[in-house]
Structure 1
């Protein structure tokens, strides 16, 4: 079957109007920007959400979730959030740390013995064991894909067969370390990761559309992923290598969740409020502080200049470029398909950008993200 290619021309701008409840607060400039990106063939559409001081100041859906059928973006459209899954898995780890069931600095081989025999790619032995902290900060030295079509247990065992790129803790390299951490959550809790998160985080927070295994109904309202078409200004449908519902056999702790903007902001607000929401504590204030403080020192990290790494979260150390409007200490994560979620404690703002695209370069350093955040911060200062 030939890939769908759609050129977004000016008449289609009529289809790009925001779809949201009449009383939902909106920042018109953000929708205008998303509509222009859609018309230029850079996105099919977007759901954007901004909060400040715990209140929604903008929530809009623009463009289309499915270009072939003409299905519009809606406020409850679901998205494959890819690596935005990582901080959520890290939160599960910290819940067990709070209960003294895990320690960040103990060897992961305590739970997964296969990692006791891991060597460097040159055959050298490890100077110290790999720790859970290494896994959560991408400093373990792991290499290889974060995608898998097996059980989580088998995926973790596969990672243990790969040689390390460097001695643990000496460098930073984006890796499937959080996949290993997710498997340890299963072992220690005695529950599948998806059940642990559902019972401990998603259900209590009311995140009813956040799942590793979307139902048929949820799949029907999930935005399709598009890549650049064969001609400028066009898009063509592309697949989901991380969490294709037809292939998923186990939860992917690094990249497997599907969610909505409304669900994610509940999680981010809980983190911004020090680990509690609606009178319930999910994770200790000290664990939130540990997750959102710089863990990687002076190591060079990705994915944008001036950033470092916490536990599962990327941190803005020195705002510049795409982060220039954010405060030092802002934390968040992007996803392989362009989704972004960032929390600015100083400005008390949360930014959620939901799009689905691949092949457009570094999603963390995109013009779509920069335009969205700039317009949101400008509005927040008024």
Structure 2
């Protein structure tokens, strides 16, 4: 968990109003940025003192297509090149990123007079960089010197490099609490804005620094930066804020600021390293870091706004890997965001000469960028062995899995029996009850209506469902046994029902409240959604809305909201707007009699390992006939291929084979963590790994810290079902996986962990962050 304790989580209510890789007028490429420190010669670091598968069998490995193989070799050889050999700017021609060089990498030579600004630009060109990021500290006295600025611009043109960004320090605090000081800072930045325009640079990086607590600096920064950004917009220049000291080193705080500045299209510079938010000296720099934000979580939060990325390194091991951060995980986050701007290379170590350190940093970036094949022959063997082992040991009767990578099927396997008593094998077209994997389908339906402008996430739910207008919050029971309640501190919102912070009770020994919910019998199959909502609206909430994560009835309320907003029965809505357009013909509430021979039995595993098949008439009761209740939180049945279709639509950001279900911005919003760090009570959600929660998905925020934690990739979003089914979407690797089984109680055997490990391979510990 991040150590941030401010009230701000990410601000995902409105997607960024610009593409991830923003381009100004004229089609100039989006810039990137390095990070540097305060003026003078302060310490460098902010923290320093497809193979299709057949049932149960192996297939030949899938070889890289010739062009992919060529690109792989180019990256490999470039990473192994001599560190001071001349470079040519060929990376982008082969589909990789463009690299810019951060001027701070040569700060010692520049401050000592051994290198001029012109020398730096020419050196970057000689080293094969396509762009450079200038730092105003190195020509602070020439902000209004047109001859110098014109000459620097001409030098860049002669060197064949683009001036991608100007980074501003020492021009006053735009978040100063004193209006006079803030106005002076705006004026100083406006002078640098004129210089940026004269240089022909499309972006200017500034700092969100100020005095006071988090909210005070936030409000002052909105004013100061907003005025600057308004002037920048008129000049076709984008303002970018870096995580660069103090409150800005919190991803949650900075994304809140960016959301408040969205009308000005202010973006971020996502720096790999600046995540210390408190120091023992109380200053922006120096001293020991006493509170640190998680770098992986922070980078994931900033990337939707990114107009630049600072790829920073300090020290390398003998294999050329950075010793304090996992470049592979960080690049997974970048790729998953869809960012295609410049990557700014910045070396801030002490052990190597600057040029050699720069080359090693770029080589590591080039090695980390390509999407690695996940499911090759070794992974196929691992998955087969893992799933077959669960069947062989009698832990499950039958299990199947399907994996797609980069748009191609790379694994299918089915083992054991779907119906042990009937002797029916587990097959590709076996129908299973997906239980809570119904929830993401409901979330997609609701967000289609969000796209249509039917609601905003922070609207009070009672605006659309008046039965929730007079809610009360449980405060225990009195001497007579009656429940004590109070009015909620704020209204229950639509966002609350999308992230399970509504307060609806869902089990547990809570005197009075437990009995009241049981008596209401909310999930009686004879209830309609409207009847369920009417009963629920009369029951107290377990806690204040927004203060805890508590799984339960929220998604059934989403289904009711879909009915009210669309004017259609929920089951008819999802059929017309999701299932039929995607061709998901076998995802249904009711399994017709003709298909019952493909309907998997359900099994209960006792504590001693005994596996018992449950009677079909009991296990399948909800799905054998049409009931008045069409829940949003459970109830659908599906097949591997049907649910994989849904997952593939999500990994493609809402569109599959020409059919658009959601817009990309909406899918990104759904897969963004919506839980602030102040929501510390999260029930069993932490058992899923280091995750937050978006809109009906768990969202992985950090790489696994231990071998026991569920494996996965940062940025992955997923959910599972009560009968131990599972699916996930991994945008970084363009990978989707679906695992089907019918096992109760929910995964007591480590099936999900071991299946994930089989897909991704052995656990790799993260580097320590000591010293940075």
Whether the TM-score (by the shorter chain) exceeds 0.5 is yes
CA separation of 1:322/1:351 partners in 2, compared to 1, >3 Å: closer, same or farther?
Answer: farther
**Structure 1 partner of 2:430:** 77
**Structure 1 partner of 2:742:** 356
**Structure 1 partner of 2:653:** 274
Q: Is the 8 A contact 2:589 2:626 kept in 1?
A: no
Aligned residue for 1:58, secondary structure, equals strand
| Distance in 2 (alpha carbons) for counterparts of 1:286 and 1:229 | 45
**Structure 1 partner of 2:496:** 134
From 24, 27, 42, give the equivalent of 2:395.
42
| Distance in 2 (alpha carbons) for counterparts of 1:102 and 1:198 | 22
| Distance in 2 (alpha carbons) for counterparts of 1:368 and 1:271 | 24
**Structure 2 partner of 1:4:** none
Q: Is the 8 A contact 1:20 1:61 kept in 2?
A: no
User: How much has 1:246 moved relative to structure 2?
Assistant: 4.7
| Distance in 2 (alpha carbons) for counterparts of 1:334 and 1:91 | 16
Q: Which runs of 5+ in 2 are unaligned?
A: 1-53, 63-376, 476-484, 508-521, 763-772
CA separation of 1:208/1:244 partners in 2, compared to 1, >3 Å: closer, same or farther?
Answer: closer
| Distance in 2 (alpha carbons) for counterparts of 1:93 and 1:372 | 31
Aligned residue for 2:600, secondary structure, equals coil
**Structure 1 partner of 2:524:** 148
1:223-267 CA-to-partner distances (Å, cap 9, x unmatched) read 111002586343332644894435743211001111111111111
**Structure 1 partner of 2:759:** 376
Alignment of 1:1-382 (within 5 A): 18=55, 27-122=380-475, 123-144=485-506, 147-149=523-525, 150-229=527-606, 232-237=609-614, 239-240=618-619, 243-246=622-625, 248-298=627-677, 299-300=679-680, 301=682, 302=685, 303-320=687-704, 321=707, 324-359=710-745, 361=746, 363=747, 366-378=749-761
Bigger Cα displacement from structure 2, 77-86 vs 105-114: 105-114
| Distance in 1 (alpha carbons) for counterparts of 2:431 and 2:456 | 34
| Distance in 1 (alpha carbons) for counterparts of 2:587 and 2:751 | 24
Q: Is the 8 A contact 1:20 1:75 kept in 2?
A: no
Q: Is the 8 A contact 1:142 1:176 kept in 2?
A: yes
| Distance in 2 (alpha carbons) for counterparts of 1:312 and 1:148 | 23
CA separation of 1:97/1:373 partners in 2, compared to 1, >3 Å: closer, same or farther?
Answer: same
User: How much has 1:20 moved relative to structure 2?
Assistant: 9.0
1:302-335 CA-to-partner distances (Å, cap 9, x unmatched) read 1423111000111112233565531111101010
CA separation of 1:191/1:374 partners in 2, compared to 1, >3 Å: closer, same or farther?
Answer: same
Aligned residue for 1:346, secondary structure, equals helix
User: How much has 1:348 moved relative to structure 2?
Assistant: 1.6
User: How much has 1:28 moved relative to structure 2?
Assistant: 4.0
CA separation of 1:241/1:310 partners in 2, compared to 1, >3 Å: closer, same or farther?
Answer: farther
Aligned residue for 2:418, secondary structure, equals strand
1:45-93 CA-to-partner distances (Å, cap 9, x unmatched) read 1110111111110012211111111111110101110111111101001
CA separation of 1:366/1:93 partners in 2, compared to 1, >3 Å: closer, same or farther?
Answer: farther
Q: Is the 8 A contact 2:420 2:613 kept in 1?
A: no
Q: Which runs of 5+ in 1 are unaligned?
A: 1-16
| Distance in 1 (alpha carbons) for counterparts of 2:587 and 2:57 | 20
| Distance in 2 (alpha carbons) for counterparts of 1:333 and 1:243 | 21
Q: Is the 8 A contact 2:529 2:629 kept in 1?
A: yes
| Distance in 1 (alpha carbons) for counterparts of 2:55 and 2:708 | 25
Q: Is the 8 A contact 1:76 1:260 kept in 2?
A: yes
Q: Is the 8 A contact 2:556 2:632 kept in 1?
A: yes
User: How much has 1:111 moved relative to structure 2?
Assistant: 2.3
Aligned residue for 1:267, secondary structure, equals helix
Aligned residue for 2:474, secondary structure, equals coil
| Distance in 1 (alpha carbons) for counterparts of 2:437 and 2:708 | 18
CA separation of 1:242/1:90 partners in 2, compared to 1, >3 Å: closer, same or farther?
Answer: farther
| Distance in 2 (alpha carbons) for counterparts of 1:355 and 1:282 | 28
Q: Is the 8 A contact 1:243 1:252 kept in 2?
A: no
Q: Is the 8 A contact 1:107 1:130 kept in 2?
A: yes
| Distance in 2 (alpha carbons) for counterparts of 1:308 and 1:241 | 32
User: How much has 1:41 moved relative to structure 2?
Assistant: 2.2
Aligned length: 360
1:343-380 CA-to-partner distances (Å, cap 9, x unmatched) read 11112211111000112x5x3x852112212222239x
| Distance in 2 (alpha carbons) for counterparts of 1:205 and 1:24 | 30
Aligned residue for 1:352, secondary structure, equals strand
| Distance in 1 (alpha carbons) for counterparts of 2:421 and 2:385 | 23
**Structure 2 partner of 1:12:** none
**Structure 1 partner of 2:283:** none
CA separation of 1:183/1:368 partners in 2, compared to 1, >3 Å: closer, same or farther?
Answer: same
| Distance in 1 (alpha carbons) for counterparts of 2:59 and 2:597 | 24
Q: Is the 8 A contact 2:395 2:749 kept in 1?
A: no
Q: Is the 8 A contact 1:38 1:44 kept in 2?
A: yes
Structure of higher RCO (CA pairs closer than 8 Å, 6+ residues apart): 1
| Distance in 2 (alpha carbons) for counterparts of 1:167 and 1:105 | 15
1:102-151 CA-to-partner distances (Å, cap 9, x unmatched) read 22121211222121111011211011111111001000101137843122
Higher Cα Rg, which structure: 2
Bigger Cα displacement from structure 2, 239-248 vs 347-356: 239-248
Aligned residue for 2:458, secondary structure, equals coil
CA separation of 1:240/1:132 partners in 2, compared to 1, >3 Å: closer, same or farther?
Answer: farther
| Distance in 1 (alpha carbons) for counterparts of 2:569 and 2:60 | 40
